[in-house]
Amino acid sequence: MNVFLAQLLNGLDKGGAYALIALGLTLVFGTLGVVNFAHGALFMLGCFCAVTFRYLITLETVTIDPEKLSPWGSPVEVRTPLVQNWFGDFGAVLVDYSVPISILLAIPAMLIIGIAMERGLIKHFYKRSHAEQILVTFGLAIVLQEIVRSFFGANPVPQPIPSDLRGAADIGVWFGMAAHTLTYPWWRLIYLLFSAVVIGGVFAFLQFTTFGMVVRAGMADRETVGLMGIDIDRRFTIVFGLAAVVAGVAGVMYTPLLAPNYHLGMDFLVLSFVVVVVGGMGSLPGAVAAGFLLGILQSFASMTEVKSLIPGIDQVIIYLVAVVILLVRPRGLMGRRGIMEN
């Protein structure tokens, strides 16, 4: 039972990441009608927002302290981060909490990147074939990841969890179990809550604002909304910016769980496409549901018991589930008729 719960929890945080990426992807699919192969790159850029932020606040001054000598007799280099010089202890906290704080950098940065991408390139491709959309967004994704590589190199750049949040929560105790029966790393728990909040926020935004209403109407029937004389163009830009922000912050918070490298986006791209399509084209709840479903199933499939029962299952589970769902349900979990079916 506990093993079961532990795996469920393990799957949930991964599922949260899948759901967040898929959410933006399907939003862009549904409203703009664009197959965006650069969406994974947006996730990756989000990760590197965290890396950049940390790089900036850990810029340090190096002074040589002539008083102190190292064991082999040379003067000791003293490194102090600039922020610590300026803000004292608060600076140290900043450095420690660099990952969550870098969300503040990531939101405006991703918004600007998203808007620039849409205005500069994507918007010219609304009426072009899906094939051409794939080519241009794929090209863009390559360019973005190469730019990142030229700045940050090819190696993964691990990001630390804030020291207060390391270790695991003894969740079992909360539910009246004995101590240490069910533990769950704090940061994963935080990621899960974080993704729930972001997903909830996006849904609330779409549900309760007039802007959201227009976007949803646009997903249901693009032409009519256009005919209603609503300035769709501007809204499309904002939707794309929103999708970029969601992918970006999903990336920021994921960095302590998976050290980001420049081609992380491509790895997540394929997976997020599977998630979106399994969820069903044009359905936001479908994408979220599929994200969590696949995350959880993947975590179960990697249990040794399961693996010994069905060898190799952990490698193929996502694709196997995708095949089964798509063969049983023509439009995935909750897809709508006529979207990307031809």
Partner 1 sequence: MFSLSRKDLAALAVFAAVVLTMPIWLAPFGAAYPGLMQKFAIYAIFAIGFNILFGLTGYLSFGHAAFLGVGSYTTVWSFKLLSMDIGPAMLFAIIVSGVFALLIGYFSLRRTGIYFSILTLAFAQMSYSLAYSVLTPITNGETGLLLARDDPRHLDALFGAQATAAGLPQPTLFGMSVTGYTGFYLCAVILIIAFYLSQKIFASPFGMALRGIKSNQTRMNYTGFNTRPYMLAAFVISGMFAGLAGALLSITDPLAGAERMKWTESGNVVLMTILGGVGTLFGPVIGAWLIKYFENIFSAINTNMLNGLFSFLPDGVQTFVVTVLSKFVGEGWHLTLGLMFVLIVVFLPGGLVEGFHRLMVRLKRQKATPDGVTSVQPAE
Residues that bind partner 1 (CB under 8 A): 35, 121, 124, 128-132, 134-136, 138-143, 145-147, 149-150, 266, 270, 273-274, 277-278, 281, 311-312, 315-316, 319-320, 322-323, 326-327, 330-332, 335, 340-342
For residue 123, what is the DSSP state? G
- Phi first, then psi, for residue 68 (nearest 5°) are -90, 140
CB of 308 to partner 1, least distance (A): 13
- Residues whose CB is less than 8 angstroms from the CB of residue 12 and which lie 6 or more positions away in sequence, other chains included: 192, 292, 295, 296
State which residue, 171 or 340, has the beta carbon closest to partner 1.
340
Q: How far apart are CA 338 and CA 100, in angstroms?
A: 40
CB of 267 to partner 1, least distance (A): 10
SS3 of the chain: helix, strand, coil, percent, to 5? 70, 5, 25
CB of 26 to partner 1, least distance (A): 11
- Phi first, then psi, for residue 78 (nearest 5°) are -110, 120
Report which secondary-structure segment, H or E, holds 79: strand 75-81
CB of 132 to partner 1, least distance (A): 5
Strand partners, 60: 81
Cα atoms in the Cβ-side hemisphere of radius 13 Å centred on 331: 14
Category of 230 on φ-ψ map: left (φ > 0), alpha (ψ -120 to 50) or beta:
beta
CB of 46 to partner 1, least distance (A): 19
Evaluate whether 105 touches 53 at the Cβ level (below 8 Å): yes
CB-based burial label for 55 (10 Å; 0-12, 13-18, 19+)? middle
- Residues whose CB is less than 8 angstroms from the CB of residue 327 and which lie 6 or more positions away in sequence, other chains included: none
Residue 145 identity (one-letter amino acid): Q
State which residue, 169 or 340, has the beta carbon closest to partner 1.
340
CB of 241 to partner 1, least distance (A): 20
State which residue, 129 or 163, has the beta carbon closest to partner 1.
129
Q: Is 37 strand, coil or helix?
A: coil
State which residue, 210 or 342, has the beta carbon closest to partner 1.
342
State which residue, 134 or 173, has the beta carbon closest to partner 1.
134
CB of 72 to partner 1, least distance (A): 38
Evaluate whether 278 touches 333 at the Cβ level (below 8 Å): yes
Report which secondary-structure segment, H or E, holds 314: helix 313-328
Q: What are the C-alpha distances in Å from 329 to residues 5, 199, 332, 338? A: 28, 25, 5, 14
CB of 167 to partner 1, least distance (A): 34
State which residue, 194 or 262, has the beta carbon closest to partner 1.
262
State which residue, 77 or 132, has the beta carbon closest to partner 1.
132
CB of 285 to partner 1, least distance (A): 18
